[in-house]
Structure 1
Amino acid sequence: MGLVSTSYELIGRILYTDIYNEQGTLLLSAGKMLTAKDIDSLLINNIFEIAVKGATHEIKPIDNIAPELLHQIDEAWNYDPEMAVIYKETLSGIKDLLDRTKEGEQVNIQEMVTQFSPLIKHALEHRYVFHPLHTLKGKDEYTYRHSINVGLLSALIARLLGLPDEVCVEVGEAGLFHDIGKLEIPDGILNKPSRLEEEERKIMRKHTQYGYTLLRKFPNLPKSFADVALLHHECLNGTGYPFGLRHENIPLSVQIVSVADKFDALASDRVYREKVSPFEAATALWNAQFAGLMNPAIVTPFVTYIIESYIGSKVRLSNGQKGVIVRYNHQEPLRPLIRTDEGLFTKLEVERDIQIVEVF
């Protein structure tokens, strides 16, 4: 475990060892999450280097991410400062690596895995850190955030399915690289603020083959990485691309990442449209499983998790009323019981014309 300089950048990190002052008095115990007051105490006692979990190098200020986005991340995980710190560091590191790749450097897949590792491990240990992912607003760093979010959500879904920890991590890492082929897509198409023309769509669809070709150059990577990059736009009923594969020919890891990809794409701001609420994104998944596009064995537990995580949250309904989610119906998790601000109860399973349009 490396030493890092004592600074306020360490707020939210976990102390690795006990800290004593010059008189031998215990100041801070190993395992404590550092606060601003703790940093003050360390500096006052002339303790300028400490060991924190997950830090093997000097932590530097983040200067390649918009300050407003960094602030949003801090606010989103204000109940888990360590998650906020790790997410910011991962986002900054992944962005730096991919930006350098765009400038001509060889893509460093192993370093990306290393950057992602602390985040995915922390997330799997703290199930509800996924909740704030889709409170972040704006299009800043969407491409990088989407890759990270899909990786995290894929690992979560694997955990919900009861898969072993090592499989959850592998599926999450495969999710991180699902769109790596977009490095080969021209920025003018990738960032076009309007609907793509037919020829542009054909070019965009090539990102699956580009990603597969790139990842197969690294023989030490699990095969699932390349499979996910190639097949994550396949659908169970054979209507997807690039091959039109059907259920039995689409690996489980690919099916998991496909669900995570669609959810995050809908619930995040894009260059050509604003995000929808997590409930609307979950509804799209729910409908996709009944249309034969996605696996109900994957979609149902994920949608149920989403609803469970919003119990007690404030919502706005399509009829203009506001209220709180009280409980959900296991048969129809997307139509929960709402207690309105007027003190009345609305059963969405009965009131079929009312939808949840916003979550606060």
Structure 2
Amino acid sequence: MEKARGVRTERIPLGKLEVGQVLTTTLLDEKGQVLLAKGKQITRPFLERLKARGQEYVLLEILEEVEAVAATEDVPLEVKKKTLEDLQDTLTALSQKKSASIQPLEQDVRRFVKGVRDHREVVIPIIQLKKHDDFTFTHSLNVSVIAVFLGKFLGLGEEEIRLLGLGALLHDLGKLHIPQEILQKSQPLTPEEYRIIEKHPVTALKILDEYAAIGGRIKNVAFEHHEKLDGSGYPRRLFGRDISLLAQITAVADIYEALTSDRPYRKALPLFEVVEYLMGNAGYKLDEKVVTTFVSHISPYQVGDVVRLSSGEEAVVARLNPILPFRPFVRLRIKRPDGTVVLSEEIDLSRSLILTIVGEIELQSQIQVE
């Protein structure tokens, strides 16, 4: 398998640096700010300035090679379609207080877990089912798939991941009791409408409490996924460790999926904005370990995506880079005089200083449900 080049940092004592050394890599401070660029010579005044400001350690950028990742399917499309049907039937029956069983969903989640266990990538494949008129159902399915992958990368056991996946499927059950004119409203919500929205976790818990077969940890996901570490969430304004881990994982998956989806009141946000939002709330409103694990395992691109490069050329994503996910392997789309398109040899964007992706032309990785 070919190698992808990535970057890590190595922390070394300031005393290891010597006057006259020429850097073969970039020198950083412990906040990641560049102190001295590759190819520059270390001088005595430079070292004295670092000592004067109390600098005891510096970071060296180290290039390393790892196996490049070829994307594979995460959870088969037929499993997702079957789960979507089961989810719609089950949530509708639960919300209408009809006789219902979550056994079909349990079987679906077991298939998810198997797909995740067998998945060989080190990135979460953000391949989503999209069907705008059934947002609550497709959103819940996408959140469950993302949460299950996230649970795997957080090191949860298989039973924990199963409970996580099932709780995530049921997390928005209470929204089926919210009028569509509120859920689909394109204008800002009124304070009263916000209060109605904030009741959906309580509604979900009341419904789920009527089913003895549904365990408490699953119910907690539906009840607590809008709680925040700083107590600013709802419905109970819980703090920190009072919020269950499975709910905190679901919260990150929920926010990501919601912000990257088109809604009546806004278009989907670019991935970099969503990542900035998640990182900005890590350790403050959202669990820091959950957020950093998620961000370090998502890929902004999928194999087959058509992108525009900074050179103005079009390219197809050929393979993913697990260390530098924003720098995948691409192949240029070359148009012949006769109108046909051929692909160039692979280009490793992690090795290019000037060639970057500036936008997507198509989103071929999105799976449409007919």
TM-score (norm 2): 0.62
User: Is 2:288 aligned against 1:296?
Assistant: yes
Q: Once the 2 structures are TM-superposed, how far is the Cα of residue 222 of structure 1 from its aligned partner?
A: 2.5
CA–CA separation in structure 2 for the residues paired with 1:155 and 1:345 = 30
- Tell whether the 8 Å contact from 1:212 to 1:230 is kept in structure 2 after alignment: yes
Task: Tell me what 1:184 maps to.
Answer: 177
Q: Which structure has the higher relative contact order (CA within 8 Å, separation 6+)?
A: 2
Q: Which moved more, 1:158-167 or 1:243-252?
A: 243-252
In structure 2, list runs of 5 or more residues that go unmatched.
1-70, 334-343, 364-370
Residues 63-96 of structure 1: per-residue CA shift (max 9 Å, x gap): xxxxxxxxxxxxxxx9659801111111122223
Identify the residue that residue 257 of structure 1 maps to in structure 2.
250
2:139, 2:89 → 1: CA distance?
15
The equivalent residue for 1:131 is 125
Residue 307 of structure 1 aligns with an amino acid whose one-letter code is S
Partner amino acid, structure 2, of 1:133: I
Structure 1 residues 309, 259: CA separation in 2 closer, same or farther (over 3 Å shift)? same
* CA displacement at 1:143 relative to structure 2: 1.2
CA-CA distance at 1:239 after TM superposition: 1.7
Q: Are the structure 2 counterparts of residues 91 and 315 from structure 1 closer, same or farther at C-alpha, using a change threshold of 3 Å? A: same
- What pairs up with 1:58-207 in 2 under 5 angstroms? 80=73, 83-100=76-93, 105-126=98-119, 131-134=125-128, 136-137=129-130, 139-207=132-200
CA deviation after TM superposition for structure 1 residue 217, in Å: 2.3
Instruction: Give how far 1:146 is off.
Output: 0.9
Give the one of 230, 235, 254 matched to 2:228: 235
The 1:275–1:95 alpha-carbon spacing in structure 2 relative to 1, beyond 3 Å, is: same
Contact 1:317 1:358 (C-alpha < 8 Å) held by counterparts: no
8 Å contact from structure 1 (residues 329, 336) kept in 2: no
Q: Is the 8 A contact 1:142 1:269 kept in 2?
A: no
| Structure 1 unaligned spans of 5+ | 1-77
Larger radius of gyration: 2
Q: SS at the partner of 1:156? A: helix
Of 158-167 and 136-145, the range deviating more from structure 2:
136-145
Percent identity, please.
Answer: 30
Which residue of 214, 218, 222 maps to 1:221? 214
Shift, 1:307, TM fit: 3.0
Mapped to 2, the partners of 1:189 and 1:144 lie a distance apart of 17
Given that residues 120 and 155 in structure 1 are in contact (C-alpha distance below 8 angstroms), is that contact kept between their aligned partners in structure 2? yes
Secondary structure at the counterpart of residue 236 of structure 1:
coil
Cα distance change, pair 232–90 in 1 and its aligned pair in 2 (3 A): same
For 1:297 and 1:79, locate their aligned partners in 2 and report how far apart those are by CA, in whole Å: 26
Tell which deviates more after alignment, 261-270 or 273-282.
273-282
1:153–1:260: 8 Å Cα contact kept in structure 2?
Answer: yes
Would you say the 8 A contact 1:283–1:334 is kept in 2?
A: no
Distance 1:164 1:115, change over 3 A: closer
Taking structure 1 as the reference length, what is the TM-score of the superposition? 0.63
1:107-157 per-residue CA deviation (whole Å, 9 max, x = no partner) reads 4333433344334432442255952523x5551422111111111111111
After superposition, give the CA deviation of every residue in 1:201-260 in whole Å (9 maximum; x if it has no partner): 110110011112222222332211111111111111222112222222211111101001
Match of 2:127, as an amino acid?
L
> Partners of 1:150 and 1:341 in 2: how far apart?
33
Distance 1:175 1:104, change over 3 A: closer
> What is the distance in 2 between the residues matched to 1:81 and 1:247?
32
Q: Does the CA-based 8 Å contact 1:184-1:207 persist in structure 2?
A: yes
Residue in structure 1 matched with residue 240 of structure 2 by the alignment: 247
Q: Quick check: 1:279–1:357 contact (8 Å CA) kept in 2?
A: no
Aligned length: 278
Counterpart-to-counterpart distance in 2, 1:179 and 1:110? 18
* TM-fit CA distance, 1:299: 1.1
Q: Shift of residue 166 of structure 1?
A: 1.1
The 10-residue stretch of structure 1 (266-275 or 87-96) with the greater mean CA deviation from structure 2: 266-275
TM-fit CA distance, 1:158: 0.9
Aligned partners of 2:322 and 2:79: how far apart in 1? 35
Distance 2:291 2:140 in 1: 20
Please identify which structure carries the higher strand content. Answer: 2
Aligned-residue CA RMSD (Å): 4.0
Return the offset for 1:322: 5.9
Amino acid at match of 1:131: P
